[in-house]
Amino acid sequence: MKKIVTLGVYGFDREKFLRALLDADVDTFCDIRLRRGMRGAEYAFANSQRLQKDLCELHIKYIHIKDLAPTRTIREKQNQEDKEHGVAKRARETLAQSFVDAYEKERLSNFDSQQFLARVGPEANIVCLFCVERRPDACHRSLVAQRLSRDLSVPVEDIMP
């Protein structure tokens, strides 16, 4: 793996989203969402089946890595913090420390970067970590990217709309 790219769906339309993947030379797309559906027509292109079809046409490998998605319990910690500070999910700029601590304990404490490499395959060069939040610092994908970067000595590029 040469590089990790992180990408969220909010702020993109279908064409710009797919163009961003192509411009970054992504060959492997890791969907790290728990639920792979999106509500509303605006982001329907990011629903799993539609997304997989588009990626297949672009010759980008799709992998769903559910065990990197935050559990409902972990997400609830962030939701509570957002409510306390009056922050809407799409306006969030950073993750709550309670979320980070819980995610690291429940998801990253047993995470093995070498197993991740084996899962994405030896042909993976540019790997995209995908979730929904616009800002990487407001999403668990940044935590996964940091771990992979540290363990595998690969650079991280965050793609924003």
Domain ranges of the chain: 3-70+112-159
pLDDT digits (tens, 9 = 90+) for 8-54: 999 999 999 999 999 999 999 999 998 887 777 899 999 999 999 99
How far is the C-alpha of 143 from the C-alpha of 147, rounded, in Å? 6
pLDDT digits (tens, 9 = 90+) for 107-135: 999 999 999 999 999 999 999 999 999 99
Burial 99-125 (b: 16+ CB within 10 A, else e): bbebbeeebeeebebeebbeebeeebe
Assigned fold of 3-70+112-159: Cobalt-precorrin-4 Transmethylase; domain 1 (3.40.1010)
Q: What is the pLDDT of residue 88?
A: 81
* pTM score, whole prediction: 0.93
